[in-house]
Amino acid sequence: MAYSEIHLIFFSIGAALLGMTLWSMNTLRLALASRDWPFVEGVLIMVDPGERYDKDGNDISRPRLRYRYTVGRKTYEGSRLWYRSGPFSDNPTPDLASGVCVGDTVDVYYDPNQPSRAVLQPDYLTDDFVSVAVSAIVFVAYLAWRLSA
């Protein structure tokens, strides 16, 4: 492999690590901001418990819900349950979709600056900080390694 090809491979790895770090930071920022968002009553328009189990029988369900809500005079639809960043965040509420039906009302927390951005569960998990920290540490370690080479 030529030097330029190796350089391109390492540059691509660095860019991917930087992208993961920035994505994790933005997700954490939105999770923190969602704690202060106002909420309105919304209605569920689709419920899928997403029941799945791994080979050991552990519940790894990822519920999927769609909801409709109105802010001011405009009606929106959303499907985001929460802001969680990356593989370090387990599903905190695998049973979120159990016991709810289409037509049920839910509290929808929306961004007052962009009402189309909404969640059903505001706030963050400690794992969200871990995700940002691990991404940043790996990127900085990669950068230090490349600069020393």
The tokens for 126 are: 């400690």
* Residue 138 CA from chain centroid, whole number: 20
Q: What is the pLDDT along the chain (149 residues), one digit of tens a residue?
A: 666 777 778 778 878 878 888 888 888 889 889 999 999 999 999 988 777 777 887 776 677 889 999 999 999 999 988 877 655 444 545 556 667 889 999 999 999 999 999 999 887 766 667 767 777 787 777 778 777 76
pLDDT for residue 88: 44
Q: By the 8 A CB rule, do 85 and 24 touch?
A: yes
Element containing residue 16 per DSSP (H, E): helix 3-34
For the question of whether the overall pTM of this predicted structure is more than 0.75, the answer is: no
Position of tokens 């929808």?
A: 108
pLDDT for res 116:
97
Query: Rounded to the nearest 5°, which phi and psi values hold at 46?
Result: -155, 135
25 secondary structure, DSSP code:
H
